[in-house]
Amino acid sequence: MSKILDPPDGRGVVVAADHGFMLGSIEGVEDLEGTLSRVVEGRPDAILLSPGQAARLNHLFRGRDAPALLVRADWTNAFRDKTYTLPARTVHRRAVAEARDAISLGASAIVTYYFMGHSDDEREAQNLRLMASFARQCDKMGLPLIVEPLPMGERVTGANFADLATAAVRIAAEAGADAIKAVYTGDVETFSSLVKAAGIPVLILGGAKAKTLRDALEIVDEALEAGAAGVVYGRQVLQASDPAQFVRSVRAIVHEGKTVLQVLNPVTGPVRLRVFPERCTRCRVCELICTSTHGQGFSPAAARLRVEFLGVDSYKPVTCTLCGQCIKACPTDALSFHPELHYVQLNPERCNGCMDCVQACPVKVVRFDEQRSLPIICDMCRGAPSCGLWCQPEAIVTERQKERKNDAA
Amino acid sequence: MMSGRGTGVALGKSLRLSSFIAIEDRKSLIVELDQGLMQGPTRGSLDLQLVLASLSADADAVVLSPGNAGRSVPRFMGRAAPALIVRADWTNAFRDQSSVLPASEVRHAMVCSTEDAVALGASAVAAYFFIGYRDDEDEARNMESIALLARQCDRLGMPLIVESVPIGERTAGANFADCVDLATRMAMEAGADAVAAPYTGDEKTFHALAESVGVPLFLLYSTDPIVEPFSVVRSSLDAGASGVIVGRSLLEVENSSETLKKLRHIVHKQRRER
């Protein structure tokens, strides 16, 4: 299990590529070898394949840095709805491999479904029996079992979905699952209960729901906050234009503790702020997000920029221009330009609270924190300015600094 | 042919496949003589040993039912002989209205295990995977059967050929090509080492199929008697098929051994001396 859920943080990023087995050659899986070669570059912790593909594409899993192999041990027609070729009329699920088959393929775990919600109780009993038999095989062979419990069948409604999902998760855990793959319930509260009910690691299903990368990452972020141990992505990755980059972005959230904004706007070099006053609506979100990003809550009075009122419908954001006057004015060399990213940075230990920098700033964006006796200086959010990210009308825009011009003139 | 599979078992599969998929051109011509198991005696195969004698020289492999495989061992001995493929399953799907007892519901059953096939000296095992059953449970059962057969084959290093065929009204419409794609893809993912499928109807879709399925794809010629100019055969080979599997369609022709020689010429592009 430790190859899938990395011990330092107990989390995993998994890519599911077994859709072909259940749906035929849908978009993203036609040239599975080609697509997965690109996915592997993003370093997912594991990849899920059907038994046939696990054998054919075994070479992708060689080596210490390669992902772990997960084998799908059952098949179902449950997902062949009306949008697919030959839609299923009745739902069926069958075992297609045993634990020992997965082991001989070098797999680190098997993955199976568990459906709950059929109106026929005999079907429910069969479902449980199948899961239990997988659990016993896995125990014997020392192979982890990952179960994907899904509310499925005539008795599932919108109202009972979350409770049914939680019940199915708990039943799977009690039957012997070592980890769970579950649909994110949609909010932190119900998902936290589900995670608690499971008592074993729960990975969320990425699903096809997120329309943009940002949406997908925000769902992961929220699920992790609610206690998820990671995420399993399928089509979202396989159909992405840059699968490796997608995986890297998810890894940054799951394993590197980055925020969604940090991932979407990686620091790539020195930046400056460019202002288009005619676009400004004076919403002042820039001031709010400035203090929020710097851990000061929402306090416009302490922001490192401000929006000036010039007249009716005429406003102007005023930001740090990197002129360097504050640096020149400082008697103790407490201020300097960051060597690589060229933003103004403060060394608090050297500051004597003289406020010369506040006086020196030609646009008056340097403020002073009386309590800590330190200036409040714009640091371009260390390379990814929040004001530039959040300004909707694009009155403030982040730009690359072209050359390291000597702005101090 | 079989990229990157593990050691040991994969060597067995590669070796056995190479006994009927020619190394030079990666193509194969396979003749099915197992109709008796599923349809009773058919015109053209009443005396199986006679038919075998007349067709062996031009077939790369012959598919036989388990019973006849045992009885026909001498035909497969020696370097010049074709490879033996054992039929592991049975179906009533081909018992149409012209049969003495037409099938009312399509049924499928397993009749032979991989171990049995190994003992018979087989180079591969063949089974059908149908989609389009009226009751989806039958599809699930069929999938289960071929998947478990695939697991046995993996353990023993025996290649598995799955003939993936859309049947019935549900698959007979404009979605036929998509159904062929669905059936072959599911069979490959379940563990088939090669798949056979009926012609999708045009080169473009057949080519797409050959590209995406990732394992050798054979044309399953099983409808009308196979006669010149063999356009479907030529089109599917051009579209990327690894060869042809032909059975009843060959036996119903007047001079099947002549026809087979001509097919061989098309599949392997030259007369191969044995």
Strand partners, A316: A308
Q: Which two structure tokens, joined as six digits, stand for B270?
A: 């030259």
Residue whose token pair is 């993996």: B154
A344 in Cβ contact with A335 (< 8 Å): yes
CA–CA distance, B218 with B175 (Å, rounded to integer)? 20
Contact A75, B190 (CB under 8 A): yes
Count of beta carbons in the 10 Å neighbourhood of residue A367: 18
Which tens digits make up the pLDDT trace of A319-334? 999 999 999 999 999 9
State the Cα–Cα distance between residues A146 and A177, nearest whole angstrom.
6
CA distance B190 to B188: 5
pLDDT at A388 over 60: yes
Q: Is B104 helix (H, G, I), strand (E, B) or coil?
A: coil
If you classify domain A12-263 with CATH, what class do you get? alpha beta
Q: What percent of chain A has pLDDT over 90?
A: 60
Query: What pLDDT, in 10s, does the model give residues A269-313?
Result: 899 999 999 999 999 999 999 998 888 888 899 999 999 999 888
Task: Give the H or E element holding residue A69.
Answer: strand A68-72
What's the number of CA atoms in the CB half-sphere (13 Å) around residue A245? 8
pLDDT band at A44 (very low <50, low <70, confident <90, very high): very high
CB contact at 8 A, B161 and B126: yes
Chain B partners of A92 at a C-beta cutoff of 8 Å?
136-137, 139-140
Q: Report the SS3 class of residue A152.
A: coil
Longest CA pairwise span in chain B (Å): 49
CATH 3.20.20.70-classified regions of chain A: 12-263
Q: What is the pLDDT of residues B147-182, one digit of tens each?
A: 999 999 999 889 999 999 999 999 998 999 999 999
Calculate the average pLDDT of chain A. Answer: 90
CA of A18 to nearest chain B CA: how many angstroms apart? 8
Residues whose CB falls within 8 Å of the CB of residue A200, separated by 6 or more in sequence, listed in order: A173, A177, A178, A179, A180
Rounded Cα–Cα distance for residues B122 and B66 (Å): 10
| Residues above pLDDT 70, as percent of chain A | 98
Q: Which of A58, A92, A97 sits opposite B137 (nearest CB)?
A: A92
pLDDT at B3: 41
Cross-strand bridge partners of residue A260:
none
CB B84 within 8 A of CB B158: no
Helix, strand, or coil (residue A38): helix
Measured CA to CA, the distance from residue B210 to residue B223 in angstroms comes to 20
Task: Go through the domains of chain B in sequence order and give each one's CATH number.
Answer: 9-268 (3.20.20.70)
Please tell me the class of the A271-400 domain: alpha beta
Q: Do A324 and A337 form a contact (C-beta atoms < 8 A)? A: yes
Task: Please check whether residue A318 touches B, CB under 8 A.
Answer: no
Which tokens in the block code for residue B65? 């039912």
CB B151 within 8 A of CB B100: no
Q: Which two tokens stand for residue A168?
A: 């199915």
pLDDT tens digits, one per residue of A125-163: 999 999 999 999 999 888 899 999 999 989 999 888 888
Q: Three-state DSSP class for B235?
A: helix
Pick the residue from chain B with its C-alpha nearest to A33: B214
Cα–Cα distance for residue pair A311/A307, rounded to 1 Å: 12
Contacts of B5 in chain A (CB under 8 A): 55-56, 58
CA B170 to chain centre: 23
A18, A52, A88 member nearest B191 (Cβ) = A52
Identify the top-confidence range among A19-33, A365-379, B2-16: A365-379
**Which residues of chain A does B144 touch, with a Cβ-Cβ cutoff of 8 Å?**
75, 94-96
Closest residue to B147, CB basis, from A55, A60, A97: A97
- For residue A43, the model assigns a pLDDT of 92
- Measured between CA atoms, how close is B203 to chain A, in angstroms? 17
Give residue A208's pLDDT: 59
Tell me if B142 sits within 8 A of B108, measured CB to CB: yes
By C-alpha distance, which of B75, B148, B147, B156 is closest to B119?
B156
CB-CB under 8 Å, A104 with B155: yes
Q: Tokens standing for A51? A: 């038994």
Paired tokens of A254: 């799951």
Cβ atoms of B161 and B89 within 8 Å: the answer is: no
pLDDT at A343 (0 to 100) = 93
Residue A212 has a pLDDT of 80
Of the pLDDT bands very low, low, confident and very high (cuts 50, 70, 90), residue A261 is confident
Selection from A180, A262, A261 nearest residue A228 by Cα: A180
- Cβ distance B6 to A58 less than 8 Å, yes or no, reads yes
By the CB < 8 Å criterion, does A87 face chain B? no
Q: Which residues of A touch B6 (CB under 8 A)?
A: 55, 58, 104-106
Number of Cβ pairs < 8 A linking chain A and chain B: 129
Closest CA to A262 of A249, A281, A271, A276: A249
CA nearest B136 in A: which residue?
A90
Q: How confident is the model at residue A104 (pLDDT cuts 50, 70, 90)?
A: confident
Low-confidence stretches of chain B (pLDDT < 70) are 1-9, 270-274
The CB-side HSE value for A249 (13 A sphere, CA atoms) comes to: 26
**Residue in A36, A92, A137 to test binding to B, most B beta-carbons within 10 Å:** A92
- Residue B51: which H helix or E strand, with range? helix B48-55
Residue A375 parent element (H or E): strand A374-376
CA B76 to chain centre: 18
pTM over 0.80, yes/no: no
Cβ atoms of A58 and A106 closer than 8 Å: yes
Contact: B186, A24; criterion CB under 8 Å: yes
Q: From the CB of residue A158, how many other CB atoms can be counted at a distance below 10 Å?
A: 6
Chain A: residue whose CA lies nearest to B213: A30
CA distance B93 to B104: 9
A24:B178 CB<8 A: yes
DSSP state, residue A59: G
- ipTM comes to 0.74
Provide CB contacts within 8 A for B215, sequence distance 6+: A56, B188, B192, B193, B194, B195
Neighbours of A119 (CB within 10 A): 10
- C-alpha distance from B223 to closest chain A C-alpha (Å): 22
Residues recorded for chain A: 409
Looking at residue A248, what is its pLDDT? 93
> Residue type at B91?
T
- For position B273, what pLDDT does the model report? 44
pLDDT at A392 (0 to 100): 86
Name the segment(s) of chain A with CATH classification 3.30.70.20.
Answer: 271-400
Cα dihedral A38, A44, A50, A53, rounded to 10, equals 40
Flag if B136 and A92 touch (Cβ within 8 Å).
yes
Q: How far apart are CA A52 and CA B17, in angstroms?
A: 17
pLDDT band at A408 (very low <50, low <70, confident <90, very high): very low
| Residue found by looking up tokens 């006053």 in the block | A277
Q: Residue A336's pLDDT is what?
A: 95
The structure tokens listed for A238 are 């396989």
**Gap from B158 CA to chain A (nearest CA, Å):** 14
Q: Can you say whether the dihedral through the CA atoms of A359, A361, A365, A367 is positive or negative?
A: negative
Residues with Cβ within 8 Å of A187's Cβ and at least 6 positions away in sequence, in order, are none
pLDDT digits (tens, 9 = 90+) for A182-233: 988 888 898 999 999 999 999 999 765 677 888 889 899 999 999 999 999 9
Distances, alpha carbon B266 to alpha carbons B11, B234, B250, in Å = 30, 7, 15
Contact state of A20 with B185 under an 8 Å Cβ cutoff: yes
Least CB-CB distance to B190: which of A25, A33, A50? A50
How would residue A407 be classed by pLDDT, with cut points 50, 70 and 90? very low
Contacts of B14 in chain A (CB under 8 A): none
Distance from CA of A273 to the nearest CA of B (A): 49
